[in-house]
């Protein structure tokens, strides 16, 4: 058993310590908001926060998260920054197929926590690891700026 703190709750996970956080979330805890894309830290679909920093949960073992705080997309509707980002996402009609979007939102929230007025270059830099096959990048940029204005 491995104890993980996820969205403010300590949860027991019956999995090998080498199990990636992504699969502990999806398979052990039935938290399916975090997506599997590449499994190799190349696409960002699996992004969650570990002690507030965006990480690729597909390559991060649960052993390395013990004693730390994991935050997932499921917590964003009750989070001030997360809610502002999600509202902006809806307003700007960002999602197309939607598959990459929970990872996009998690990266955007991490950006806005550290940079309240991100410029285009800041956004491109922070979001560069999140791939969208539907090409929603311009809308993501606009939505992040809108969320920043809402939060100001
Ligand atoms: S599934 Fe983790 S980066 Fe692609
Ligand atoms: S919305 Fe389809 S991959 Fe991004």
pLDDT reported for residue 33: 98
pLDDT digit string, tens, across residues 17-74: 999 999 999 999 999 999 999 999 999 999 999 999 999 999 999 999 999 999 999 9
Which pTM does this prediction carry? 0.97
Q: Are 81 and 103 in contact (CB under 8 A)?
A: no
Q: Among 23, 33, 34, 38, which residue has the most ligand 1 atoms within 8 Å of its CB, making it the best to mutate?
A: 38
pLDDT digit string, tens, across residues 91-118: 999 999 999 999 999 999 999 999 999 9
Is the CA virtual torsion 75, 89, 142, 97 positive or negative? positive
102 lines ligand 2 (CB under 6 A): no
Q: What is the DSSP letter of 132?
A: -
56: phi then psi, degrees, rounded to nearest 5: -90, 105
Cα 140 to ligand 2 centroid, rounded to whole Å:
11
pLDDT reported for residue 121: 97
pLDDT reported for residue 40: 98
56 lines ligand 1 (CB under 6 A): yes
pLDDT reported for residue 4: 97
Instruction: For the chain, list the domains and their CATH numbers.
Output: 2-74 (3.10.20.30), 76-151 (1.10.150.120)
pLDDT reported for residue 76: 98
């Amino acid at each position: 058993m491995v104890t993980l703190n996820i969205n403010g709750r300590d949860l027991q996970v019956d999995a090998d310590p080498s199990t990636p956080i992504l699969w502990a979330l999806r398979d052990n805890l039935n938290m399916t908001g975090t997506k599997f894309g590449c499994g190799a830290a190349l696409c960002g679909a699996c992004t969650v926060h570990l002690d507030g920093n965006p990480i690729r949960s597909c390559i991060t073992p649960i052993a390395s998260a013990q004693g730390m705080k994991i935050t997932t997309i499921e917590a964003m509707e009750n989070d001030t920054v997360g809610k502002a980002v999600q509202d902006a996402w809806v307003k700007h009609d960002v999602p197309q197929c939607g598959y990459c979007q929970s990872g996009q939102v998690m990266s955007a929230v991490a950006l806005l926590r550290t940079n309240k007025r991100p410029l285009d270059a800041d956004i491109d830099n922070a979001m560069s690891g999140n791939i969208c096959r539907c090409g929603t990048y311009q809308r993501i940029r606009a939505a992040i700026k809108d969320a920043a204005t809402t939060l100001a």
